[in-house]
Amino acid sequence: MPVTRNDLPVEGLDLTAQLAAAHAALRAERARSGLLEELSAALLGSLNVTRCAQITAELAATHLADAATVVLPASRGRHVTVSAVRGAQAVHAILTGDVDEVPGLEEALLGFPPVPSRWLDARSTPGWLLPAGMAPVGSVVVVPLPGHGTPAGALVLLRAVGSTAFDEDDERVARQFAGRAGLAVSAAQLHDRQSAITDTLMRELLPPCVGRLPGFDFAARYRASEDHERIGGDFYDVHPDEDPDGETLVVLGDVCGKGLDAAVLTGKIRNTLRALLPLAQNHLLVLSLLNTALLSTDSTRFATLALASVRRTPSGVHLRLTCGGHLPPLIVRADGTVEEAPTRGTLIGALPQVTASTAAVTLAPGDACLLYTDGITEAMGGPFGDEVFGEDRLTAVLGECGGMPAEALVERVQMLASDWIGVRDHDDMAVLAITAPRGRHLRAVGGHGRGRYTR
Amino acid sequence: MSPLPTTVTDELWTAVLDGDDLRAGDVVLAALDDGVDAEAVLLDVIGAVQRRVGQEWAADRITVAQEHTATAINDRAVAVVGRRARVEPTGARVTVSCVDGEWHALPARLLAEVLRLRGFRVDYLGAQVPTPHLVEHLRRTAPDAVALSASIATRLPTAHAAILACRAAGVPVLAGGAAFGSDGRFARLLGAEGWAPDARTAADLLATGDLRPSGGQGQAVDDLPHLADQEYTLISRNTSRLVRTVYGGLEQRLPAMARYTDQQRRHTAEDIDHIVAFLVTALYTGDDELFPAFLAWTASILEARHVPPGVLDPALDLLGAELRDFPRASRLLAEAPRHATAPERDGQDG
């Protein structure tokens, strides 16, 4: 009922107009919220910088402008740009021009407050900033993408001649939009930096690829206790001699504990062993020196170790095997007989002195020597869920694997142990096989035969 | 390109069975030298030999140790072909990965090599890739597509998690492998953007560039609403207890089990475990054919080993009794076919 004064419905007209204006403002606000919601939802799924930039550019070009370009901070002197024209997929490029040719862009990339659009002359927008398929520019807005502490880049919005020019309201929305996009891009950039550091550090700690050397084969499998990690407290290494008739040193070990701390210690042990290679003819000396080195570190961790010196001879593959507190290696003959290598020794890094005895074993063609960590034998699970895999079961499995090549042997052991565990928690697991290939030990003489390939 | 002489496959088969990887390498190199297309060597020679390995194991003509050996030799033969035929990578970037827990990596390896030969940029992640690793890899490399491989149906729940993770990361998934069904119905069910029955079709599909991310942040229950009834959750969290109970029940029902060797006991426990695993997968997918198909396949494996398939019937009955409060599980167990033969193992199964 309109209000009357002197019988004239004066405020009635104003109210209707005000109501209409209020509805329009509400619709516009809802549209903006919807846009920000859509942007956030899309950005949450990605930690990839270019993908975040792509999502930002495409959504901006759909809802805020005719075209949009995300300019990322300079990396190695170059800016990556991601541009989109409405209706088309975003395109990546490297910025070819100079950022100070675009008014407001350099300021935005440096994190200064945005320059108002009316101060920017759209006609002086350089060609290199315009995505392919964009009509001549009538209006430009440049906003920073604010990050966590450092600017994450800039967003350039372009409207064609003939489209409504950007007004203050549009700029406000653009800043809110850029605010969210900036946080996502910044998180992705932080993630990238962390990943790069991790990769560099991890490279040294990853298990090495093992393969074929003249006269004998290796294969190994590793599974860290944290399934999303690739490193842990178990490790192995293979150190071939330059002389193909010399001894190759193989190491397999287990540092007590798991996770990153244990992995870092495995790196130290591997490095120390590498330095002790010239002394490898004397396993006890190597273990003693390693023991001294471990005792002198801050760490209270100890390790168990198995050493194998491998040498090809006309009569087969000759092994010298020494355990330092570790499960003794298993010898699997081609006919399926399984024997424990007669070597024993004390833990490394626990007591001032270590003792160990070395066993000499010869592998005939088809025979194998298996080194493994207790993550295999202590694996808990099975059909009833409460049994350990155990040494007996391992022996039974190996009894069926006489004559298998190294690759197949480690895969069989690893597969059965993993299936045994199912989805339960488990310790680090490592298994390594040294095999004397059947009937081929004469072919790779000199190390240049056809048998020479590594993974 | 020369047509493929049938003897090449036979020669490779012999080499593979002997565990002679040098001879296997010689056979594939000779085929390439004779002008056979590298893709044909991979799919029609090595792939054919691998299929034969699976068939021979099912028929009990080779042991599981021989199967592992053969697969390892085949894998080396793939490496030989890959090294010989080098192609500049100029095409789309594809990640090829096996689902976590999937050991049969050769089909994925063959696809990776075929894609490389066709000029794709391929990242081959190998067997049993934990889903967090896959996601980490996708975030770093932003490939154009993921080719996800699973051979055994019990991997389907994990495959679903991987597909959902890829969807959230905005990368489309091309599913492949026997786990997704001979018609790909499980690929569709679990929301993969594409499916292919073999490597050639997969490569062709990836080349079209038609595979687009379907977007969204869904959860498992959005694709499979029946999961809300919790049957899958409750049963899968209690598999060990179920297996123990059924095993104990079998011991009571079948006095002959008292004379079983350790190996027979192990096989019985494993068989019950597999039945429960496939039942759980059937509950996850809500598919009525998966469980009977598994039972039929198991029956054929047992028959090849001279074990009467009826040996599993008491286990099905006992499971049905344990799960009588679960309507979908009960129905699947009740509808599973039973056999008329004697339910005891003799000493012959291997």
Express each pLDDT in B245-258 by its tens digit.
999 999 999 888 89
CB atoms within 10 A of CB A223: 22
Q: Find the closest chain A residue to B246 by CA distance.
A: A384
CA-CA distance, B108 to B295, in Å (whole number)?
26
Cα–Cα distances in Å, from B91 out to A324, A336, B27, B110, B204?
51, 48, 30, 18, 13
Interface test with B, best of A37, A39, A44, A46 (most B CBs within 10 A): A46
H-state helical runs in A110-228 = 168-205
Model confidence band, residue A13 (pLDDT cutoffs 50, 70, 90): low
3-state secondary structure of B28: helix
Tell whether A89 lies on the interface with B, counting CB pairs under 8 A. Answer: no
pLDDT at A443 over 50: no
Interface list for chain B against chain A, based on CB atoms closer than 8 Å:
19-22, 25, 63-65, 68-69, 71-73, 75-76, 79, 83, 100-101, 103, 128, 130, 132-133, 136, 138-140, 142, 168-170, 215, 217, 239-241, 243-244, 247, 269-270, 272-273
Which residues sit opposite A318 in a β-bridge?
A: A311, A362
Picking from B64, B169, B240, the nearest residue to A385 by CB comes out as B240
Interface test with A, best of B22, B23, B81 (most A CBs within 10 A): B22
Strand pairing category for A368-372 and A380-381: unpaired
Cα–Cα distances in Å, from A72 out to A151, A283, A441, B301?
9, 56, 58, 59
Express each pLDDT in A307-324 by its tens digit.
999 999 988 899 999 999
| Shortest distance, CA B128 to any CA of chain A (angstroms) | 10
Which residues sit opposite B93 in a β-bridge?
A: B121
Looking at residue A439, its pLDDT comes to: 61
State percent of chain B over pLDDT 90.
Answer: 72
Residues on chain B touching A382 (C-beta within 8 angstroms):
269
DSSP conformational letter for B288: S
CB–CB of A211/A453 below 8 Å?
yes
CA-CA distance, A237 to B135, in Å (whole number)?
29
Tell whether A195 lies on the interface with B, counting CB pairs under 8 A. Answer: yes
Interface test with A, best of B68, B137, B217 (most A CBs within 10 A): B68
DSSP conformational letter for B41: I
CB–CB of A346/A369 below 8 Å?
no
pLDDT at B180 over 80: yes
Helices and strands per DSSP (H, E), number in chain A: 9, 18
Express each pLDDT in A55-94 by its tens digit.
999 999 999 999 999 999 988 888 999 999 998 888 888 8
- Cα-Cα-Cα-Cα torsion B163, B168, B172, B176, nearest 10 degrees, comes to -10
CA-CA distance, A223 to A225, in Å (whole number)?
7
**Amino acid identity for residue B60 in this structure:** D
| Shortest distance, CA B272 to any CA of chain A (angstroms) | 8
CB–CB of B142/B171 below 8 Å?
yes
Q: Which residue has the tokens 């073999």?
A: B198
Contacts 24+ apart (CB under 8 A), A441-449: A441/A215, A441/A312, A441/A316, A441/A317, A441/A365, A443/B22, A444/A214, A444/A215, A445/A214, A446/A214, A446/A244, A447/A213, A447/A214, A447/A244, A449/A214
ipTM (interface pTM):
0.89
Q: Taking Cα atoms as reference points, which of A149, A207, A166 lies closest to residue A60?
A: A166
DSSP conformational letter for B45: I
The tokens for A243 are 């002389």
Q: Please judge whether B130 and A408 are an interchain contact, meaning their C-beta atoms are less than 8 angstroms apart.
A: no
Tell whether A450 lies on the interface with B, counting CB pairs under 8 A. Answer: yes
CA-CA distance, A439 to A446, in Å (whole number)?
17
| pTM of the predicted model as reported, rounded to 2 decimal places | 0.83
Model confidence band, residue A437 (pLDDT cutoffs 50, 70, 90): confident
